[in-house]
């Protein structure tokens, strides 16, 4: 990083590459991430097509992307917990359960967003 704290193109490119490495790792090692990514591949274009106006489109697309982000963070938590404490520990189990709960709540948000926005149009 430059002395002034400003990132240049080289640092930005490196950050992008690390992010792509993380996405590949999520895809390669996490079945839940693969499933949620497939869901996002359907929901994101569909949300952009079915949403009326920018806010509706955002409300339909954003939750699916948030699910993917939370799943990656949950997987990172699980990997660190397993590395630090391979044997069962109550706090390790709690950390994993809380990460899973975060993903679950965002999946509820996906369903709620779609039901509130698209549901009335189908009824």
Q: Is 100 within any annotated ligand binding site? A: yes
Cα 105-111-112 angle, rounded to 5 deg: 85
Is 26 annotated in a binding site? The answer is yes
Query: CA of 68: how far to CAs of 7, 22, 30, 56, 89, in Å?
Result: 26, 12, 11, 20, 27
Annotated catalytic residue: which of 11, 36, 56, 71?
Answer: 71
> Is 56 annotated as belonging to a binding site?
no
| Residue 24 marked ligand-binding | yes
87 is annotated as contributing to ligand binding: yes
* Residue 18 assigned ligand-binding role: no
**Any binding-site annotation on 94?**
no
Whether residue 71 lies in the annotated active site: yes
Three-state SS at 94: helix
- How many other β-carbons are positioned within 10 Å of the β-carbon of residue 85? 13
Q: Which two tokens stand for residue 73?
A: 């963070």
Residue 97 structure tokens: 């359960």
Catalytic residues: 71
Name the binding residues for substrate: 24-27, 71, 100
Name the binding residues: 24-27, 30, 71, 78, 87-89, 96-97, 100
């Amino acid at each position: 990083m430059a002395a002034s704290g400003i990132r240049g193109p080289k640092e930005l490119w490196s950050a992008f590459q690390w992010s792509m490495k993380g996405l590949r790792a999520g895809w390669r090692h996490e079945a839940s991430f693969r499933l949620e990514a497939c869901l996002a591949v359907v929901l994101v274009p569909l949300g952009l097509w079915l949403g009326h106006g920018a806010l509706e489109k955002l409300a339909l697309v954003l939750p699916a992307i948030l699910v993917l982000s939370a799943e990656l963070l949950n997987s990172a938590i699980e990997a660190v917990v397993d590395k630090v404490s391979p044997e069962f520990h109550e706090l390790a189990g709690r950390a994993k359960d809380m990460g899973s709960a975060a993903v679950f709540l965002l999946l509820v948000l996906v369903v709620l967003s779609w039901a509130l926005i698209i549901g009335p149009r189908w009824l």
